[in-house]
Each structure stands twice: as C-alpha cells, then as structure tokens.
Amino acid sequence: MIVQHDVTIVGAGLAGLRAAIAAAETGEKLSIALVSKIYPLRSHSVCAEGGTGAALREGDSIELHAWDTVKGSDFLGDQDAIEFFCSQAPKEAILLEHWGCPWSRTDQGLIDQRPFGGHSFPRACYAADRTGFHEMHTLYERSLMYDNIIRYNEYFVTSLIIEDNHIKGLTAIDLKNGEMIGIHSKAVILATGGAGRLYEFTTYSYTVTGDGMALAYRAGVPLKDMEFFQFHPTGLLPSGILITEGARGEGGYLLNNKNERFMEKYAPEKMELAPRDIVSRSMMTEIIEGRGFKGPYGDYLLLDLRHLGEERIEERLPLIREASIKFSGVDPVEEPIPVRPVAHYTMGGVHANMHTETPVKGLYAAGEVACVSIHGANRLGTNSTMECLVFGGVAGSRAAEFALKNDFEALPKDVVAKEESRIFDDFMGRDGDESIAEIRDTMRSTMESKVGIFRKGDDLKEALRIIKELKNRFNNIQISDKGRVFNTDLTSALELDFMLELAEIVVLGALKREESRGAHYRLDFPKRDDENWLKHTMAYYTEDGPRLEYIPVTITKWEPVERKY
Ligand SMILES: Cc1cc2nc3c(=O)[nH]c(=O)nc-3n(C[C@H](O)[C@H](O)[C@H](O)COP(=O)(O)OP(=O)(O)OC[C@H]3O[C@@H](n4cnc5c(N)ncnc54)[C@H](O)[C@@H]3O)c2cc1C
C-alpha cells in the first residue's frame, strides 16, 4: 500500500510534535503524517526531568545564554546557530505557557527558573522534575486541534526513499499486522531522537536506538560529530535512571568516601554545577584514584540532598525521591543517593544547518537526531528540550513551505515491494546461529569499556575491530519469530542493525580525533588542539565503512579561549 502526505514527520517526541503543530499552522490544507514506532506519549522526551532553558529574566540575556552555550560546547558549536537558538528560546517557553504547560511558579506567579550546570544564570524553566512529561502532554493535546495531522502510531520506519538528492518518502511497517507501507511525500522531517542505547549504563529508554541517524546515513546523508557522547554525572545505581542535574541546581552536592565535596578541586567556582563533561570526568577520577564507594554494581559516589529538607525535595524533586526509593532502596530525605556517570546524550547526528535543512532537498532534521550544531562537544543541560521546541518549530514551518511550493515527484518503481522483500525475505529469513541479544550486549559493553569518558587510541582500535566483527556476525543472526503481528524480535534486530552502523562511526570518529574537547577525552591526547581540530567530523556511508571528512566551525564573535569554571 502507498499513501500520500505532503509532509511526513518521523518521530512524535518533543521535536516531532512541535514540528507537526508548526507544519499544520503553516499550511492548513497540507496533509501531515506523524509517524512513530511507539505511542507518542512513550517517546523518550517524557523522561526529561530538570528543565528547559531560556533567558527570561532581568539580569539574564540572550547574549549570556549564547556565551554559556558556546563555552559549554568547548567552542565546537556553530555560533550563528547558537545565537539564533538563544534568541528564539524565550518565545518558545512562553508559547508553551500559553498552550497550558504547568510550569512551576514563583510566589509572584511567574515561571520559576532554577540553576543548571554551565549556565551562569538560573534559566531552567521546569515543571517540578517532570518537565518533559508536562511539555509532551501540552504539545500532544495542542496537536489534537489540527485535523490535518494524520497519525501513524506504532509504525516502524525502515528506509528513506531518496533519489537524485531529493527525498520522496519512506517505507514503514505497520507493527500491528506487519504490513509494509510506502508514504509518498514532498518533504520529510526526521525527529527520531538520539542513540543512547549504544551504551550499557544509560539513562535512555529502550526505544532510543538511533534509527533516524542510521536511516539517513545509509541513504547518503552525512552524520556530524558522532564521537561526542555526553555522560551525565548522576545515574542512579544500579539501573542508570537519571537523577536530574536539577537536584544539584536545588543545592545537592557530591561526596567521595572521605566525605569531601571533591568538586572543589576541579571546578572551584562552579563546583557541582560545572558542565557535565567536567563533573563526569572529575567523578571518574575520584573513582579511579580509589575515593569511590565499592558496591555490588561497581564503584560509585554519593549525591547528598538531605540538607534540602523533605518539604523542598517533595515540592521540587518528587520523581527523584520516588525513583531513588523504588529503584535503589534509598530515601534521599534520609540518605545520600548512590550515583555514577551515565551515557545520556548524543551531541552528534544528522548534518543539518540552522534552518534544519539537510543536504538532501526536502529532508529536514530536528531535535536530538540532528546536529545543527548548537551543542558542539558538550551540551548544557536544558538546551536539548529547548532545541526540540525551537528547531522542531523551524523544521515544521520550513517543510510545510517547501511542500506548498513543490509537487510530488514520482516514486521509484516497486520501491515498497523491494523493501518488503528486503525485510521479510532477506532479513527475517536469516536462520543463522548468532543471537541478537548477545551481539547487542557485546556492542554495549564494548562501547562502555572502550569508548567511554576516558578514551585511548589502543582501546578505540580494539573497539573498532570488535564492532566490525559484530557487524559480520550480525549477518548470521537468527530471527526466531516468523510472524507478522507485533514482531519485536524483528524490530529489535532492525534496531541493532542501526546501532552497529552508528557504533562504528562513533568509534572511528573518536579514534581519528587526536585531541580532547568537551565530552571526548583522549588520555593519549589530553589537550584541546584548536589548530588541527577546531572542525566538525562528517561521516559518509560507503560499503567499506564510514569515510570521514571535516568542515569548519562557524565562529561569529567568540574566539576560543581556555575553559575554566
Ligand atoms: C532521562 C532523560 C532526562 C532528560 N532530561 C532533560 C532535561 O531536563 N532537559 C533537557 O533539555 N533535556 C533533557 N534530556 C534530553 C532530551 O529529553 C532529549 O534530547 C529530547 O527529549 C529528545 O527529543 P526528540 O523529540 O528529539 O526525540 P524522542 O523524544 O526520543 O522521540 C523520538 C521519536 O522518534 C520515533 N522513532 C524513532 N525511531 C523510529 C522509527 N524507526 N520509526 C518510527 N518512529 C521512530 C519514536 O517513536 C519517538 O516518537 C533528557 C534525556 C533523558 C534520556
């Protein structure tokens, strides 16, 4: 079956929903498809906890937000995009307010804002510690107002159809019955989120497997800066559930086994609210040098909130308290929380400019799947949910304008039948003896141990060898469920296929980048090297593995300086 929609959005998290609303508002007569492999309100965006950044107050400014972001990015962020982003953020926060987002308030009834790592002003708008949940519900409800948004919930996109550098649509499996459909479109927006499940210890939902990045890459679109992966300082043990930076924003602090606030040594001014790359590295140094606590799930440090008192914890951090009690058996009102750095954010992604345009005509990317790049080598907390709002909005209106001006182009012959055969004959027909779970576990533990916070050339070479070997073994997997109805065996194989592709790019990019910048820290090259490496990595698909090229960083007014906090 082939259906036709002017604009198709893949992904219904914050970026996808915001894009759908903007597209529907730009072109009332346009038909807009919103495709999601899970029910929209299960998208990872609902997990965002701590806040959404915007300069709203006197004393703060767009300029200051931009400078904090540039410095946080370790000067790899594109400054024109960052300035644009910061200038649009206040509007988006207020728009959400008008659409009913229940922001936490000051006593005067204003949107309250809390401090966050790397920001020099309290600028995180928040809704207790369930910010993403409330933002998602606000956008979802708003999106229901538009009859021209047509929903494809629980459809898994398997390929993008690109010919002559033009997007023409995509193919997707209707998960409830296994039917392969084609969606013929003038414009497509990728809003498929990050790739966090590449790692073992991670804050991400199971569904965040980098599909959109791999789909674009295989269709010839370059991926940018994939070696930059963020580790958040405070993952709850043993699950990896996120303990929001908002906990430190509210005044929580980190302790080692000598009961010292060790951040004093590493970032005397900002302490626990230094950017995430710095806090995570400091924590790992404490652990490596023997000042961590030993536990059945590995070494850890403590996050102490007790001095905040029960009332404040209940009001500002209720989810943190609940998660700590349920998943770690620790009530933060009475005991410090056991934490360790955890994989949390994909700075890299589909190469897109500040108008969300990719190099392919009609194809846009927004949210975590995209690399615009405003985060550079290290994202500041709160800038991601806001990125989804700002650039989701831009992508929606740009794609709609493109669809208003252009006609449908013919689809290649038999494109859906060919994809059906690739998935259901070739892929599902595999009857080897390799287990999907085993390959996935090896990939994740390899990424964790060899491509983590501290990296070394030898480890990276070994990781590359292992990932290539896993890719070979993957050809010999077994998909035991041969049915068509909600075949999770098949979808997890497709997701693993995507992740292996991305893992190779992350490792290769990290191996080639012989410097330390932001979240990418090479023990064998511990200094930032602006002369040789102030540039973005671009990875292009070839049959023999990724080909890397480099493009310059856009600098408007902030020349790189040493980063001190
Ligand atoms: C635990 C946690 C807490 C966070 N807290 C904060 C915070 O406080 N502040 C902040 O700024 N950022 C935070 N972040 C980061 C931020 O939440 C994410 O970067 C952002 O929400 C990503 O949104 P998205 O719309 O790009 O993607 P997602 O919300 O991940 O949505 C992806 C969508 O793509 C769809 N999709 C994916 N693959 C396919 C496919 N093959 N076919 C069809 N559909 C597909 C999915 O169904 C889903 O709808 C947090 C992240 C995590 C993990």
pLDDT tens digits, 379-426: 999 999 999 999 999 999 999 999 999 999 999 999 999 999 999 999
The residue whose C-alpha atom lies closest to atom 31 belonging to ligand 1 is 13
Cβ(14) – ligand 1 distance below 6 Å? yes
Residue nearest atom 6 in ligand 1 by C-alpha distance: 48
Give the residue whose CA is nearest to atom 15 of ligand 1.
Answer: 384
Domain co-membership, 37 together with 91: yes
Q: Which amino acid is it at 200?
A: E
Q: How confident is the model at residue 349 (pLDDT cuts 50, 70, 90)?
A: very high
How many CB atoms lie under 10 A from the CB of residue 36?
26
| 349 close to 388: Cβ distance less than 8 angstroms | no
Which domain covers residue 433, as residue numbers? 415-546
Residues whose CB falls within 8 Å of the CB of residue 242, separated by 6 or more in sequence, listed in order: 47, 49, 203, 232, 234, 235, 236, 342, 344
Measured N-to-C along each axis, helices 488-512 and 436-450 cross at an angle, to the nearest 10 degrees, of 30
Q: Do 243 and 148 have their domain in common?
A: no
Same domain? For 12 and 135 the reply is yes
Give pLDDT tens digits for 420-462: 999 999 999 988 999 999 999 999 999 999 999 999 999 999 9
Which residues, at least 6 apart from 356, have a Cβ–Cβ distance to it below 8 Å?
Answer: 189, 364, 365, 366, 370, 372, 391, 394, 395, 398
Active site residues: 232, 248
> Which residues 6+ apart lie within 8 Å of 215 measured at CB?
157, 158, 159, 160, 170, 190, 192, 498
d(CA 469, CA 466): 5
pLDDT tens-digit readout, 468-523: 999 999 999 999 999 999 999 999 999 999 999 999 999 999 999 999 999 999 99
Is the residue at 552 inside a domain? no
Distance from the alpha carbon of residue 211 to the mean position of ligand 1, in angstroms: 12
Measured in Å, residue 11 CA sits from the centre of ligand 1 at 9
Residue 557 structure tokens: 């007014």
Average pLDDT over residues 114-128: 95
CA of 193 to the centre of ligand 1 (A): 5
Within this chain, do residues 115 and 172 fall inside the same structural domain, yes or no? yes
Does the residue 116 lie in any domain? Answer: yes
Does the Cβ of 159 fall within 6 Å of ligand 1?
A: no
In the block, residue with structure tokens 């023999």: 544
pLDDT tens sequence across 540-561: 999 999 999 999 999 999 999 9
Cβ of 378 less than 6 Å from ligand 1: no
- One domain, residues 28 and 124: yes
Q: Whose CA is nearest to atom 3 of ligand 1?
A: 48
397 and 430 housed in the same domain: no
- Between CA 220 and CA 160 the distance in angstroms is 10
317, 340, 363 - which closes a domain = 340
Ligand 1 and 189: CB distance under 6 A: no
- Looking at residue 431, what is its pLDDT? 85
What interhelical angle do 14-26 and 131-143 show, nearest 10? 30
Burial class (CB in 10 A: 0-12, 13-18, 19+), 475: exposed
- Name the percent of the chain in helix, strand, coil, to the closest 5: 40, 20, 40
CA distance 205 to 442: 19
Residues 436 and 367 in one domain: no
Evaluate if residue 266 carries a pLDDT over 90. yes
- Cβ of 138 closer than 6 Å to ligand 1, yes or no, is no
User: Please, are residues 26 and 396 in contact by the beta-carbon 8 Å criterion?
Assistant: yes
